A and B are shown apart, each in its own frame.
Chain A
């Protein structure tokens, strides 16, 4: 027999959202993110020069790197909220970590699919078992495992504790991924921006990149917020279903 438990704040959410229709999943921040992404796309496609050596494929950099940095943000949320959960046992921290994990996996998927689209014309191959690529693929598997684990454990406290530990361990890979181009002899280019020296990129391209990075970061935060709200409603539903079940028995 399996036991299903529901976080306490979801039970209170059931009460509080009973009167109101509940918060909307996508709010003003999501609208800002969508407008920002459209503006970033327009700037990158129509108002950014084509690089002389790589051609148009260099523009993949503007979607690939911001996606990687957004994945770092989302996985940073997972790690931070997992630590908060293990410390305070607050279900909101667990739900936020879960949201960060799902959105982080989305951005990691974007990284791992746009990267080969740049690699094929520039390196001549879709994939190579380079340290950075391999570590990023490992992180993708870890985050997929994190979400599978969350779906496999019924008890809320146990699920939150197990996934918090896995979330922290997965996020520990991020510094290694970032430093892998320095630590190992890799094919992957070294950072153009996140390095001690001045960014090695012309201003026109730098503005496009920063615009994309800002829009992608806002999108990441807006999606985490939306996913959190969805999680709150899903837990409220679980609590209500459990209440109905208890009363019927």
Chain B
């Protein structure tokens, strides 16, 4: 049966509508969180690399001294 008819009112199709709204919210929030997490990982790696190349004994610092 496609949909159950209420007594004289509109059919009860609210379950599908609730799932669709919740799913859309989960999808958008999930992607935003994923992007935030990826950004955080890249930043942490960037900070680590910059810290390493800034330390006096590093290869990067040696190259810069040579230049």
Contact = CB atoms under 8 A, between A and B. Distances in A.
B20 A230 contact: no
Interface SS of A by simple majority: helix
Contacts of B28: 37, 106, 110, 219
B19 interface: yes
Interface in A115-139: 117-118, 120-124
Interface in B1-36: 2-3, 6, 10-14, 16-17, 19-21, 23-25, 27-28, 31-32, 35-36
A98 B28 CA distance: 18
Interface stretch (A45-53, A142-150, A169-177, A200-208): A45-53
Contacts of A75: none
B3 A118 contact: no
Given A55-B11, A237-B42, A110 B35 contact: no
Given A106-B28, A243-B60, A234 B42 contact: yes
Contacts of B46: 17, 22, 233, 236-237, 240
Contacts of A219: 28
A240 B50 CA distance: 8
Interface residues of A, number: 52
A230 B38 contact: yes
Given A52-B10, A243-B60, A118 B50 contact: no
Contacts of B52: 244
Nearest to B10: A55
Nearest to B28: A219
Contacts of A50: 10
A123 B14 CA distance: 15
B2 to A, nearest CB: 4
Interface of A: 17-18, 22, 25-26, 30, 37, 41, 44-45, 50-60, 63-64, 67, 106, 109-110, 113-114, 117-118, 120-124, 219, 223, 226-227, 229-230, 233-234, 236-237, 240-241, 243-244, 247-248
23 contacts: A18-B50, A22-B43, A45-B21, A50-B10, A52-B10, A56-B10, A56-B17, A57-B14, A60-B16, A64-B20, A67-B24, A106-B28, A113-B23, A114-B23, A223-B32, A230-B38, A230-B39, A234-B42, A240-B53, A243-B60, A244-B59, A247-B60, A247-B63
